[in-house]
Amino acid sequence: MDVRATDAGVSLTRAYEAAGPLQRKKLLAKLDGLTNPRERHSSRSARRRLEREIKREEAEAEWMADSLRGAPPVSQDVIDLLVRQEEVRHIEVSHLRLHEWERKSPIHGETF
């Protein structure tokens, strides 16, 4: 996978495929416009890291699509029930916090 901004031309692609590993490295360095080996190495490592991230995101998207493909559709009644249960849980938690707040005074400590 090439993550550059533009596609390579046909002749450049053929030259790259025909070249050996060292020639490919030199060709990429010339195309990048980098002459300092340290900059060339950091550029290549950044490109490889970006390529790994893109592949990972594609794999995650494919996994999500595959997992959703086999799942049965969820009815609106089930969604409403889940929302109601979460609202009730939230209200109960908030109500318990209010009772704790009434028993404990932040200034005077515990009151009974």
- The pLDDT confidence band at residue 104, using thresholds 50, 70 and 90, is low
Structure tokens at 33: 């416009």
| 105 DSSP β-pair partners | 109
pLDDT digits (tens, 9 = 90+) for 52-66: 999 999 999 999 888
Position 102 confidence tier, pLDDT thresholds 50, 70, 90? low
Whole-model pTM?
0.34
The 3-state DSSP class for residue 72 equals coil
Residues 1, 51 contacting (CB under 8 angstroms)? yes
Torsion of CA 41, 44, 45, 49, to 10 degrees: 170
Structure token pair of residue 68: 């959703």
pLDDT (0 to 100) of residue 3: 47
Which comes out higher in pLDDT, residue 112 or 79?
A: 79
